[in-house]
Structure 1
Amino acid sequence: MAQAYFITGTDTEIGKTTIAAGLLHAARRAGLSTAAAKPVASGCVQTREGLRNEDALALLGECSLALRYEEVNPLAFEPAIAPHLAAREVGVQLDVATLLGPVQAILDRGADLTLVEGAGGWRVPLAGGASLSDLVMALRLPVILVVGVRLGCINQAVLTAEAIARDGLPLAGWVANVVDPQTSRLEDNLATLAERLPAPCLGRVPRLPRPSPAAVAEYLDLAPLGIAL
């Protein structure tokens, strides 16, 4: 049965793509079909094929379905700034209506596991006072939270989980991505996260010298999502 999730994080640059690619790889390794979407991305690089985003390319590389880059990442912006500001600079209306169709098209492909990765955290702004979370609400997707484990992560994780719940969406699971292995009282912090977050932990990923999707997949568990492996 096809399942789909939205991947959000406690902040920007905390490894959402690393974890999402690892989850997709784990599913592929188990013989499941995979698809992904990165609806909007800034910090893209101009290539012969057009603007390309490193994170979107990583997700595309773990899709078993034949997808074009533009399907995975329909809105790509060059400036490495907040997406709503990048869109404004080039005259693009960045709103839920613009993003909804392309993401729904990916979901309609019916992969066993589809992941839609956000940009930054839960309340990334869109045009007209909307947020990227409004897109998730429109799609009614359950959420997987990537917690960048470092000083202050408990507060960020709990606040994000509370916001997701207020928006009426289920938190399906969370992943501890240890971005700072020198975090004081690391084990105690992880135990507190497990106590305070109302969802199962899908894995604890250490700081890896080469965080390839295959390497990250070794630390992840899809079973709590009810995905048959």
Structure 2
Amino acid sequence: MYFVTGTDTDSGKTLVSSALLHLASQLRHQDDSPWQTLGIKPVASGCEQTAEGLRNSDALALQAQSSVQLDYRQVNPFSFTPAIAPHIVAAQEGVDISPEALHAALDIPRYQETDFTLIEGAGGWRLPLGNQRMMPELVQTLQLPVILVVGMKLGCLNHAVLTQEAILADGLQITGWVANQVDGEMQYVAENLAELTELMSAPCLGVIPHLASPQVDVASEYLTLPHLLRHNGK
């Protein structure tokens, strides 16, 4: 089980998470049974009202790539309509999204039964949850290894290093990072990647080039799972 965070709001966490789930779903046990995979999005804003209730595109994407099918509310227990910081709208609606509330909404024993579970955060690492509480507290409680998605654009070196420093300062481990080129016109991509490789303490799990129309199966071709499998973050 891993926690997926990013250097910024639009770094590509969901694309990377979905692609990793897609890869893991292709793995099989010795009895040839497929791996059980699961993607969870505890809190999400920017949701749309549907006949079935509020739905978030990121959570739906994770659900689509999960072999373990849960009810939507189990995948995304806290959903809000406005595309703003979750703690702001949660306060407006009188909803508790403290680390304790998030933890209570997650079925951790069920997740631990799967072969590969990803819990995707919202925004960047220091996501406020209100009352000076932040998302990393949940990750610390669960003691999850972290996968960092670096949105490749101008400023990514600073964002990546600061995020890495914050994760390590919180006493957590980065098990791998993924470079996702969100800016199709970014200059000196190779040079930035080389610098990131020197600066990051964890191995690179892949480099996704700029995709005009991001597709999970295409993105998965640029990623690798071996290090995560050796780490056994289940």
| Alpha-carbon distance between aligned partners in 2 of 1:71 and 1:26, rounded to the nearest angstrom | 23
Report the residue type matching 1:139 in the other structure: L
Q: Specify the SS of the correspondent of 1:226.
A: helix
TM-score scaled by length of structure 2: 0.93
Point out where structure 2 has 5 or more consecutive residues left out of the alignment.
Answer: 29-34
| Partner residue, 1:110 | 113
Q: Paired residue for 1:5, among 2, 7, 13? A: 2
Could you tell me how far 1:93 is from its partner in structure 2?
1.3
Provide the aligned C-alpha RMSD in A: 1.4
| Alpha-carbon distance between aligned partners in 2 of 1:192 and 1:225, rounded to the nearest angstrom | 23
Report the residue type matching 1:180 in the other structure: D
| Partner residue, 2:186 | 183
1:26 equivalenced with 2:15 (yes/no): no
| Partner residue, 2:148 | 145
TM-score scaled by length of structure 1: 0.95
Cα 1:106–1:219 shift into 2, 3 Å: farther
Residues 33-112 of structure 1: pairs in structure 2 closer than 5 A: 33-105=36-108, 108-112=111-115
Question: Moved runs in structure 1, 4+ residues, more than 6 A?
Answer: none
User: Does the Cα contact within 8 Å between 2:41 and 2:76 map onto a contact in 1?
Assistant: yes
Moved more, 143-152 or 26-35: 26-35
Point out where structure 1 has 5 or more consecutive residues left out of the alignment.
Answer: none
User: Does the Cα contact within 8 Å between 2:38 and 2:111 map onto a contact in 1?
Assistant: no
Could you tell me how far 1:227 is from its partner in structure 2?
4.8
> Number of residues paired by the alignment?
225
Report the residue type matching 2:43 in the other structure: V
Q: Specify the SS of the correspondent of 1:164.
A: helix
User: Does the Cα contact within 8 Å between 2:87 and 2:130 map onto a contact in 1?
Assistant: yes
User: Does the Cα contact within 8 Å between 1:37 and 1:106 map onto a contact in 2?
Assistant: no
Report the residue type matching 1:164 in the other structure: I
Q: Paired residue for 2:218, among 215, 218, 225? A: 215
Deviations 1:71-123 (A, max 9, x none): 00000000110000011111101101110022243654511110000000000
| Alpha-carbon distance between aligned partners in 2 of 1:42 and 1:131, rounded to the nearest angstrom | 16
Deviations 1:164-216 (A, max 9, x none): 00101000000000111322211110000010000000000011133221111
Q: Specify the SS of the correspondent of 2:144.
A: coil
Deviations 1:130-174 (A, max 9, x none): 101111111100000000000000000000001000101000000
Cα 1:218–1:106 shift into 2, 3 Å: farther
| Alpha-carbon distance between aligned partners in 1 of 2:46 and 2:196, rounded to the nearest angstrom | 31
